[in-house]
Structure 1
Amino acid sequence: MVTLDKIYHASYVLKDVVIPTPLVKATAISDDCEVYLKPENLQITGSFKVRGSGYKISQLTEEEKKRGVIACSAGNHAQGVALAATKYGIKSLICLPDGAPISKVEATKGYGAEVCMVPGVYDDAYNKACELRDEHNYTFIHPFDDENVIAGQGTIGIEILEELPDADAVVCAIGGGGLISGVACAIKSLNPNIKVYGVQAEGAPSMYESIKQGKPVHLDKVSTVADGIQVKEPGEHTFKYVQKYVDDIVTVTDDEISSAILKLIESQKMIAEGAGAAPLAAVMFNKLPVKGKKVVCVISGGNIDVTILSRVIKRGLLRSGRSQTLCIELQDKPGQLKQVADIIADKGGNVISIHHERASEGTDINGCYLRIVLETRNFDHVKEITDALINAGFKLV
């Protein structure tokens, strides 16, 4: 069993492994509640995972260490295992799904691990790791369904309450459930009145469905921008701990996660990956009953690939009305483009790009289309511009 004593022991063992991540008060996130961030994206390896893997590896027997360790991961656990194994002079092999961000793959190699890329998602990497474990007698380091790993992650809960003992709620992302199991166990043991909420991506709601059905559920497919929580099936141990300690689980969409990533960049100058931003998305989009409360969102990781970040920012801008594409049907005659540009400029819009094309078969022979990408302030600003164009006689397609 994971106990408070074991979590405190993990905290003692890890004091020379992990770095402090003090709470950050985030004033620009919500008008309804007081939001604090636990920035594990600033942790060594860029994720909380080094806590669980570090404690687990520290507790291995000498015989287990000699055999070398193997793990499977979407990327963050991989880096934690690689770092901890190298620290203890142990050989490590990590199985990663082939869709893992390049930055996570390269970082894992950089911490000293050998990497095996596996076609598919996390669960496929898990199956391959089990196969190699049996073949070569490696010691397996599970990313979430292990009591020492859970105890290591639980050190976050102790740190939160040491710094903010009057917290009302703590919000964590859920993939396999290791993080929230440890955090909830620590927090509920210290103060049962504090609410603990879990957040899953709408495209990978394995724990959400499992709790609803009262047993671990295996999803046929998962798809989300939050690759760190893209898990088809929760662990047996973690399911029980979530069932026992967690007050509620909600889901967020990829668009909501993208908006949360963008909010963290703009308001906190902080980079989070999709899994790390999911708790904040749940608070931003009022998925949880936290009005008037002190809420801690665990920003679990910041290892997002820059190409994915670019796409996420673009999606976040669209989702928040900060970017808009308009298609306008024009008469092909002089002055039309100038008139459109004048209206947009007068309303404070900024033109990013323009594409002009002649009308196709079946439309007015004198017609043409103007496709404009704009920078805007919000959806009200978009409406102000579109209304002005319509009032000036232009037809929006």
Structure 2
Amino acid sequence: MTEAIGLTELERAAEVVHAVMPATPQYRWPLLCERAGCEVWVKHENQTPAGAFKIRGGIVYMDELRRAQPAVTGVIAATRGNHGQSVAFAATRAGLTATVVVPEGNSVEKNAAMRAFGAELIVHGHDFQESLEHAIALAEERRLHMVQSFDAKLVAGVGSYGLELFRGVPDLDAVYVPVGLGSGICGVMAARDAVGSKAEVIGVVAANAPAYALSFEAGKPVSTNTADTMADGVACRVPVQGALDAILKGASGVVRVTEDEIKAAMRHYFTDTHNVAEGAGAAPLAALLKERDRWRGRKVGLVLSGGNVDRTVYQAVLQEADSGATN
């Protein structure tokens, strides 16, 4: 997947993205550095117009779709939230209708944001996989264009943040990236390879949704029966073969983090940077703290992939006490 996405493709995607939104910042936060015992650079994808990195992929995807298939009038996608916001934002901007299928119990505020961006919202299924299967059926029934959560165009789009990060901080030793279905980590690996960085790229999943960790260890796709994590952006139970192939080739590992570790990282982001991080966005920090001895005194990038967490959920997380001073 990443082999076909080189510097030319990434720069073209970045040009399309930057026509709609500016580059997001990467900041070195001193309190995070103290906490982790290394130089920490945070890529702030929580500061996009949709509050998450996914919007980049949607912008590039819809731009190419309009040029390649001008007869398409509407698109459909399944999501836990950020992909759906991306699709709704970009489709509406491109003059297309957007239908988004979400599972029962999905984030109230992400649902509201998708509607605000112009999507028709359909609630179906107990988890993302069931929503996806329903969306695929509806695409055929309604003659809509199906936007999968993993696609080369999406990878090129979200890879534009990787290009910004590696050019902004060219001497990183490692980058921790949350893994949902894989577009983010594949984009980061493509950007790393395109600019010639030697940084290790490390995927992060929730221990309660370990499909990609299990698959990395097995060297082949391993599905799980559940993906019961508060970090909905990484709540995957069926890995994508193309994404896994790229991860096996280009990532140095996939780290599991617990629900308590994710919640602690959300609190650390607030106290140390006063940024809101959703569960998936905080997972890379949780992984770095888990592996802090490995990176002591070195330079590490963290992808804060999004800040879209419901207020009630976030309040509950902030009110919990940390089990220790640094994790």
TM-score normalised by structure 2 residue count: 0.94
User: Secondary structure of the equivalent of 2:77?
Assistant: strand
How many pairs align?
321
Q: Deviations over 1:87-125 (max 9, x none)?
A: 111011001112221000000000011000113111111
Instruction: Report what 1:15 is aligned to.
Output: 18
Show structure 1 runs of 5+ residues with no match: 322-377, 380-397
Pairing partner for 1:126 from 124, 129, 132: 132
Asked if 1:302 is matched to 2:307, the reply is yes
* Mapping 1:112-261, distance limit 5 Å: 112-143=118-149, 145-261=150-266
CA distance in 1, matches of 2:22, 2:66: 25
Q: Deviations over 1:134-174 (max 9, x none)?
A: 1112111112x210001111111110111111111111001
Q: Deviations over 1:304-328 (max 9, x none)?
A: 001111222233x15348xxxxxxx
CA distance in 2, matches of 1:287, 1:130: 42
Q: Deviations over 1:253-285 (max 9, x none)?
A: 010011000011111010010000000111122
Checking the alignment, whether the CA contact within 8 Å between 1:227 and 1:274 is kept in structure 2 is: yes
Change beyond 3 A, Cα 1:319–1:65: farther
Moved more, 268-277 or 64-73: 64-73
RMSD, aligned CA: 1.7
Checking the alignment, whether the CA contact within 8 Å between 2:42 and 2:303 is kept in structure 1 is: yes
Q: Deviations over 1:40-87 (max 9, x none)?
A: 111110000001111111101454563310011100011111010111
Pairing partner for 2:88 from 82, 90, 108: 82
Show structure 2 runs of 5+ residues with no match: none
Moved more, 232-241 or 103-112: 232-241
Tell me the amino acid that sits aligned with residue 265 of structure 2. A
Of all paired residues, the percent bearing the same amino acid is 33
CA distance in 1, matches of 2:288, 2:136: 37
Pairing partner for 1:319 from 308, 319, 323: 323
Structure exhibiting the larger radius of gyration computed from Cα positions: 1
Shift of 1:194: 1.1
Q: Deviations over 1:175-222 (max 9, x none)?
A: 111100111111123225211111110000111111111111111111
Pairing partner for 1:27 from 23, 27, 30: 30
Q: Deviations over 1:215-235 (max 9, x none)?
A: 111111111110111011121
Tell me the amino acid that sits aligned with residue 167 of structure 1. L
Shift of 1:291: 1.9
User: Secondary structure of the equivalent of 2:302?
Assistant: strand
Shift of 1:296: 0.8
CA distance in 2, matches of 1:8, 1:239: 24
Tell me the amino acid that sits aligned with residue 18 of structure 1. M
CA distance in 2, matches of 1:319, 1:96: 34
Moved more, 267-276 or 8-17: 8-17
Shift of 1:289: 2.5
Change beyond 3 A, Cα 1:304–1:290: same
Which has a greater percent of strand? 1
User: Secondary structure of the equivalent of 1:243?
Assistant: helix
Q: Deviations over 1:234-266 (max 9, x none)?
A: 212111111111111111001001100001111
CA distance in 2, matches of 1:67, 1:87: 12
Instruction: Report what 1:272 is aligned to.
Output: 277
User: Secondary structure of the equivalent of 1:120?
Assistant: coil
Q: Deviations over 1:3-58 (max 9, x none)?
A: 33211110111112233211111211235210011011111100000011111111
Change beyond 3 A, Cα 1:288–1:199: farther
Checking the alignment, whether the CA contact within 8 Å between 1:67 and 1:137 is kept in structure 2 is: no
Checking the alignment, whether the CA contact within 8 Å between 1:50 and 1:77 is kept in structure 2 is: yes
* Mapping 1:285-364, distance limit 5 Å: 285-286=290-291, 289-315=294-320, 317-320=321-324
User: Secondary structure of the equivalent of 1:60?
Assistant: helix
CA distance in 2, matches of 1:320, 1:271: 21
Checking the alignment, whether the CA contact within 8 Å between 2:78 and 2:100 is kept in structure 1 is: yes
CA distance in 2, matches of 1:239, 1:137: 30
Checking the alignment, whether the CA contact within 8 Å between 2:170 and 2:197 is kept in structure 1 is: no
Structure 1 runs (4+) deviating above 6 angstroms are none
CA distance in 2, matches of 1:227, 1:157: 22
Instruction: Report what 1:96 is aligned to.
Output: 102
Q: Which has the higher contact order (CA 8 A, sep 6+)?
A: 2
CA distance in 1, matches of 2:218, 2:251: 15
TM-score normalised by structure 1 residue count: 0.78
Tell me the amino acid that sits aligned with residue 139 of structure 1. H
CA distance in 1, matches of 2:293, 2:82: 27
